Amino acid sequence: MMNKYWFTVTACTLAFTANAQQKALTVKDYERAESLMSYNTAKYIDHATVQPNWLEGDKFWYSTKVNGNEQAFLVDPVKKTKTLTTDYKGSAMPSRRGLSWSEVLSPDGKKAILIKDYNLFVKDIATGKLTQLTTDGIKDYGYATDNAGWKHSDAPILRWSPDSKKIATFQQDQRNSKDMYLVTTNVGAPTLKAWKYPLPGDKQIATIRRVIIDVENPKVVSLNIPADPHRATLSDDISSSGTFDDIDWKADGTEVAFVSTSRDHKNEKFRIANTTTGAVREVFEETVKTQYESGQGAINWRYLPASKEIIWYSERDNWGHLYLYDSGNGKLKNQITKGDFVVTRLVKVDEKTRTLYFFANGREKGNPYFSYLYKIGFDGKNLALLTPEVGNHQVVFSPSFAYFVDSYSRPDVPAVTVLRNINGKLISTLEKTDVSRLTATGWKAPAPVSVKAKDGKTDIYGLVFTPTKMDANQKYPVIDYIYPGPQGGSVGSWAFVASRGDHQALAELGFIVVVMEGTSNPGRSKSFHDMSYGNMAENTLPDQIAAIRQLSVKYPIDTNKVGIWGHSGGGFATAAAMFRYPDFFKVGISESGNHDNRNYEDDWGERYNGLVENSDYEAQANQNYAKNLKGKLMLVHGMMDDNVPPYNTLLVVEALEKANKSFDLVIFPNSAHGYGAYSPYMMRRRWDYFVQHLLGVEPPKDYQMKGPSAR
């Protein structure tokens, strides 16, 4: 429900409230805004969220800060004690024992796999001896190579068997895939950067020939199936979870279960391979009309060879739920979870008690994006809520899984961290985040809001940021921050965060900043997520417009002064807003946008739009609408962007020039998708642009962001 709007009437409006008579903002105004960035607010937060460092017997220690002073506590869940201690200091990060990050350690810690000259080698940790495992890897047809087009690294993509004797991996065939090119900017001849980067509609994309490799007695076993497209159930990268995705080993290493995803993500095949012979058994498949995904942030299927069962994830009833299959005949045994809510992440399968532990959204009243922890039996009975407090729950389990640390919060309510047993029983309260010192500086939390989407029926949710001091007689320009997804959304985490980017900082300069989660984003029903399937150019923009108009009834928003900005997909959406709704959006800043998805990596567009032959990519391309520009538009791109190549923005630049339209362009010659060391510069340019063109006053000349050094 809409939070009741309130504001403070000040007898003397300060400069940064930007009244109509004001002609310029000062350095002090910008300094005040910058004081609301995370690197300045963090020092005022006490008793923040707990990060447990586990010890034997499920004991753990954690540290927290109070008035800037660090304190450490030792917690014993069995004795229910929490003791101040000085015994534990420093980082609790596990040691890699001299290993490079491009080496994958075995479960027993005795071996590591690395890539050398497109082939795999195993390293004996004790002696450092290398043994070659493959010999036929060549350029663009190497083993375990990592390249999703937009993401690539030197680390091998593979999954160790639990007994540390075998690995499941692939030989990635990119030989017929197209190249992408970027060049450096420097004195002298530029350096050409080239890598394989298929595009939507290409006849040839990267494929993976699946193999099992016996590490102890080097032998490569090819699975007896054709090569799979470079696709996964979680996202377009087959290592999105940090390892080789969609793989589940039998404990003794004799079998491996995996899922093959079609190029357009519409078909999933569940398969089980014999790791000695390479024989593959087809168990079952699922086909969907739009695109299949196995969960939100985690893969939710499991192979349970001991009971010859499979836990499967499906949205077939319009909600993301868990299903139990017989792995022998591929038949459905029963649906496990059911109802108008979405299972987001399966975190534990207890085969002994036949109990599942999972996170889900939307089952409890209130904000449907709040995440709660539940448990349920394999038979779908005895569903139990383990984290009942209203809010977004973030959980860390003990090594034995007998306890968990639960931190719950809301965007406007700081976190409380508690210790529970695995049945959800509260053992103790560990910390309550205290923001009183931060509040004393003038900081305030954003207001959570709910309005109707463009259809007038669907509830959508978001946050509103207002200046800390406001003029009761004034209307404020509004800035809409947008990330349209469809694989994520504008808000990001629904947990408490004292500073979300520069939203509050921008508000402090004299704006109301709106961040709305439009339709077509994940975390809710399948039909909600699919609302813009096949037309990503929709970009939730009709929802954004509807939301701003509704919010203007409750907040002093000037709907004649609407700005918008976003990065990446948000850059795509921003330019689309300025071209498709030029009478509503007056000022836009489009950063690193994928303006034409035929110029962005093959999988993302083909997943959410469909294959090129089935979707009108041309009609969605921003450059085709550039002639409609009326307002002020700034385009921004890093010229070494290997995620969204800069040619996306240059297509729009060329179209604007052809249409004789004035616009602003900021380029970062040697920056990638993010701007790295130039990020503070970009933030300052963003503030200046909105202050000058939306607020209508002059910013301070070349303000120097202080950055983290100001802490």
- pLDDT greater than 80 at residue 703: yes
Helix%, strand%, coil% for the chain, nearest 5: 15, 35, 50
Report H helices in 361-403: none
- Burial degree of 381 (CB within 10 A; 0-12, 13-18, 19+): exposed
| Helix or strand holding residue 632 (H, E) | strand 632-638
Q: Which tens digit of pLDDT belongs to each residue from 70-100? A: 999 999 999 999 999 998 865 555 556 667 8
Residue 562 three-state SS = strand
Instruction: Name the nearest CA neighbour of 398 among 50, 77, 89, 162.
Output: 77
| Beta-strand relationship, 632-638 and 587-591 | parallel
Contact assessment for residue 437 and residue 44, using Cβ atoms and an 8 Å cutoff? yes
Write down the pLDDT at residue 150: 86
pLDDT in tens, 243-252: 999 999 999 9
Amino acid 95: pLDDT:
58
Q: Which has more confidence, 41 or 21?
A: 41
Q: Give the pLDDT of residue 18.
A: 41
**pLDDT (average), residues 196-225:** 97
As a whole number, mean pLDDT of residues 520-524 equals 95
**Residue 525 · residue 32 · CB < 8 Å:** no
Q: What does each C-alpha distance from 112 to 31, 123, 155, 169, 208 come to in angstroms? A: 50, 5, 11, 14, 22
* pLDDT at 49 (0 to 100): 78
Q: What is the Cα–Cα distance from 590 to 597, expressed in whole angstroms? A: 15
Whether 274 and 267 have beta carbons less than 8 Å apart is answered as no
For the cut 90, the answer to whether the pLDDT of residue 19 exceeds it is no
pLDDT of residue 97: 63
DSSP state of 9: B
Residue 612 CA to residue 606 CA, distance in Å, equals 7
Instruction: State the DSSP code for 539.
Output: T
Q: Is the pLDDT reported for residue 12 higher than 60?
A: no
Percent of the chain with pLDDT over 90: 91
336 close to 356: Cβ distance less than 8 angstroms:
yes
Q: State the pLDDT confidence band at 509, using cuts at 50, 70 and 90.
A: very high
334 touches 321 (CB < 8 A): no
Quote the CA–CA distance of 493 and 410 in Å, as a whole number: 9
Q: Which residue stretches of 495-582 are H helix? A: 503-508, 526-529, 541-554, 569-580
* 39, 406 contact by CB (below 8 A): no
Give residue 415's pLDDT.
97
Q: What is the mean pLDDT of the chain?
A: 94
**Separation CA 516–CA 464 (nearest Å):** 8
Per-residue pLDDT at 9: 35
Q: What is the pLDDT of residues 357-411, one digit of tens each?
A: 999 999 999 999 999 999 999 999 999 999 999 999 999 999 999 999 999 999 9
* pLDDT tens readout for residues 46-63: 999 789 999 999 999 999
